[in-house]
Amino acid sequence: MTIMDLLNDPKMKSQIQRALPNGMSAERIARIALTALRMNPQLQECSPQSFAAALMTSAQLGLEPNTPLGHAWLIPRKNHGKMEVQFELGYKGMLDLVRRSGMITAIFAEEVREKDEFEFEYGTNPYLKHKPYLGGDRGKVLFYYAVATFKDGGYAFKVMSIPEIEEARKLSQSANSPYSPWNRFYDEMAKKTVLKRLCKYLPLSIEVQRNLAQDETIRTQIEADDILDLPNENEFEVVEVEEIPGEEEKEEAKEGPFPNKALRESPTPLT
């Protein structure tokens, strides 16, 4: 069975529809998938099982893949010598999932350029101040940061420099793919990277944490209950791309989420 056969299979559409939240249709997801196949011929070289599983993951999360919305991406890449489809969250998709937790009142990421006014400090009196330059060209990007505010009035932020963003990009398994979102949407992927680091310390529900864990995974086999029957599908396996911590993260691991605990206890507002 080919990928095109899968997308036209009534059982496939039925399974997708059951996984989708209200307001989304299996027909629309199938059309989006067909467009993705036309735009990215390498997807057609991937195993039907991995394509179907990645599409089902996107449907279960209620995110449209490979669209200008930037919610999620289906990326072809070699996995143990075989072409498989990797599911990858986009910046806006990650924002959407975090907001569903009900514990976050606001969350966003921004870029900082050379001519902007920018100050931040971690520790016992943490603060972050960013005033974008409004007099014309702001210069090249120096930092990205993400901020989240909580229902209890607390907040947290994370700042990453361009070298740190680049190190994270190099560790991404999809970065070398010509179809990687890093090649076309660098700004949003950089924002997603700093947001992902911040999410490690946010008060998120178990369900949201599980959803976020789907980022950069390949499902090579699928349970029959998860999607329609396919050859050799008795179980499912998740091949997850592990992020190798850099020196900064090692220090954070030693000290714990130091900026965030202080931020939650500090009355100092963001300016």
Task: Answer whether residue 240 shows pLDDT above 50.
Answer: no
Residue 231: predicted pLDDT: 37
Q: Is a pLDDT exceeding 80 seen at residue 221?
A: no
Here the tokens at position 231 are 């050859």
Rounded average pLDDT over 166-179: 82
Nearest-angstrom CA–CA distance, 148 and 125: 17
**Separation between Cα atoms, residue 125 and residue 261, nearest integer Å:** 11
What pLDDT shows up at residue 120?
Answer: 98
What pLDDT is recorded for position 74? 94
97: pLDDT strictly greater than 70? yes
Report residue 270's pLDDT band, with 50, 70 and 90 as the boundaries. low
> Encoding tokens for residue 95?
């924002």
Pick the range with the lowest mean pLDDT from 7-21, 101-115, 198-212: 7-21
> What are 62-89's pLDDT values in tens digits?
899 999 888 999 999 887 888 999 999 9
Give the other-Cβ count within 10 Å of 224's Cβ: 12
- What is the rounded average pLDDT of the residues 42-51? 91
% residues pLDDT > 90 (the chain): 45
Whether residue 254 is predicted with pLDDT greater than 70 in this model: the reply is no
Query: CB-based burial of residue 162 (10 Å sphere; 0-12 exposed, 13-18 middle, 19+ buried)?
Result: middle
Residue 247 has pLDDT above 70, yes or no: no
Tell me the pLDDT of the chain averaged across its residues: 81
Minimal CA–CA distance to 263: which of 132, 124, 91?
A: 124
Pick the range with the lowest mean pLDDT from 128-132, 180-184, 203-207, 232-236. Answer: 232-236
How many whole angstroms separate alpha carbon 88 and alpha carbon 102?
A: 23
| pTM reported for the whole predicted model | 0.75
- pLDDT tier, 22 (very low <50, low <70, confident <90, very high otherwise): confident
Is the pLDDT assigned to residue 227 strictly greater than 60? no
pLDDT value of position 266: 37
Of 33 and 220, more confident? 33
Helices (H), the chain: 3-8, 10-19, 26-39, 48-61, 91-99, 162-171, 181-184, 186-199, 206-212, 247-255, 258-265
Q: Taking 60 as the threshold, does the pLDDT of residue 230 lie above it?
A: no
Lowest mean pLDDT among 139-153, 156-170, 239-253: 239-253
